Structure 1
Amino acid sequence: MTENEIGTLAIASAIAVHRELGPGLLESVYQKALLYELIQQGLSVKAQVNIPVKYKREIMDIGFRADILIENKVLLELKSVEKIQDVHKKQVQTYLKLTRLKLGYIFNFNTPLLKNGIVRCVNGLDD
């Protein structure tokens, strides 16, 4: 399955979660529900995946964690905030760079329509 195919399933799953739960809950609630939906799609998923930082020859485990990793190909960062900020986009871009993954998404569940809270991030592209 390609990154884009996985991304399509992730978006559909996130929309299903948002339709069921609505906005205003904690990120951890959306994470559990989204993990359930993704597993129901038959996808391999991991939660709170450690992202080590390599500095010169040193590998530093400093606590960076991706909310969800799908099929070891697509990274999801979940938010429940008023508005996605530039720092959130930079965070995902950095995670993609550190993991050498190509595709990531930010899902902000604190919006009336989830489609307005989805940001697609591609490794190497800053917007």
Structure 2
Amino acid sequence: MATYDLDVLMPFTEANCERLLEAVAGLQPRLSHTVDKRPLQLTAGELSSFRNLYLLTDLGRLDVLGSLPPVEDVAAVLRDAEWMDVGGLKVRVLPLEVLIQVKAAMGRPKDKLTETELRAIANVKGAAKKP
């Protein structure tokens, strides 16, 4: 399974949008869903009305998601997220079970394939835990 973007789950509060703008400031962020891929020149206040934001940066594509159907309680998901080390940076990632639910709900062929692969990973992890 390969991925070519980074998905971030973030409530679109003005404070979070301010942090996002600071984080991508040096990465030449551009709006990926515009024809001309125009530079991101929106304020945190303007971004706070968004539901999702799709960016192209010098490091690759960044999808910032305000919700994650079928998950309704984003705060609970974030509380239950697992910590991982990614290149020396500690980040929270969705629990495998939640990611499987999300991929199952998407319904697209590529998500169904990913769901199958994630279920296989979950089975291997479950078997490894058994004595």
TM-score, scaled to structure 2: 0.32
| RCO comparison, higher one (Cα < 8 Å, 6+) | 1
TM-score, scaled to structure 1: 0.32
The structure with more strand, counted as a fraction of residues:
1
Larger Rg: 2
